């Protein structure tokens, strides 16, 4: 059984930029309150598939998806949800675009998944909610930073996620390219 998901992997320079944006934030949180995403693991999740026995049929179905290259614009780093006390993550958000929504619908259809909605975001950190709840509000940093990061989407990937004590390890199983 493999724990799998579908993702868009930004170019290395975008991962580097996002990673560098998180460095000053790390100083502002209590030790143990936040699990930061490693630079190499930064990605945009299209659809979580969960545990799957084999990938051959999924790969065949996803290979049938046609999409044109498009560009994603990340415009803000903030909490989700926005209430600092209830936040579960820190993410980089972007504007919803038709091309990405269309790709999400195609992926959902080809995998037979019923996930209803999609929000363009890249998770930068997961917050330990129990730790955040016991932290006085004035000690929880305010995060609301504008971004202007664009990157092209020319493929999406079927990824395997291995959960390890030191953090998840992601591996590309297969990449699916846009029409050129």
Question: Is position 43 annotated as part of the catalytic site?
Answer: yes
Query: Which of 3, 93, 108, 121 is labelled catalytic?
Result: 121
What one-character-per-residue DSSP string does the chain give?
Answer: -EEEEEEEPPPHHHHHHHHHHHHHHHTTS-TTSEEEPPGGG--EEEEEEEEES-SHHHHHHHHT-----EEEEEEEEEEESS-TTT--EEEEEE---HHHHHHHHHHHHHHT--------EEEEEEE-HHHHHTS-GGGSPP-EEEEEEEEEE-EEEEEEEE--TT--EEEEEEEEEPP-
Query: Which of 9, 15, 43, 122 is labelled catalytic?
Result: 43
Q: Which active-site residues does the annotation give?
A: 43, 121
């Amino acid at each position: 059984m493999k724990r799998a998901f579908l993702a868009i992997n930004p170019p290395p320079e975008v991962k580097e930029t996002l990673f560098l944006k998180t460095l000053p934030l790390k100083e502002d949180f209590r030790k143990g309150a936040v699990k930061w995403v490693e630079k190499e693991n930064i990605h945009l999740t299209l659809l979580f598939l969960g545990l799957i026995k084999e990938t051959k049929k999924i790969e065949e179905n996803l290979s049938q998806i046609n999409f044109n290259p498009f560009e994603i614009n990340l415009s803000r780093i903030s909490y989700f949800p926005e209430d600092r006390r209830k936040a579960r993550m820190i993410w980089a958000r972007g504007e919803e675009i038709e091309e990405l929504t269309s790709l999400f619908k195609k992926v959902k259809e080809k995998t037979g998944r019923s996930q209803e909605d999609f929000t363009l975001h890249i998770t930068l950190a997961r917050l330990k909610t129990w730790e955040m709840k016991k932290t006085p509000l004035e000690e929880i940093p305010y995060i609301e930073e504008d971004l202007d990061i664009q990157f092209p989407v020319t493929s999406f990937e079927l990824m395997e996620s291995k959960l390890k004590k030191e953090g998840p390890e992601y591996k590309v199983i297969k990449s699916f390219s846009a029409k050129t």
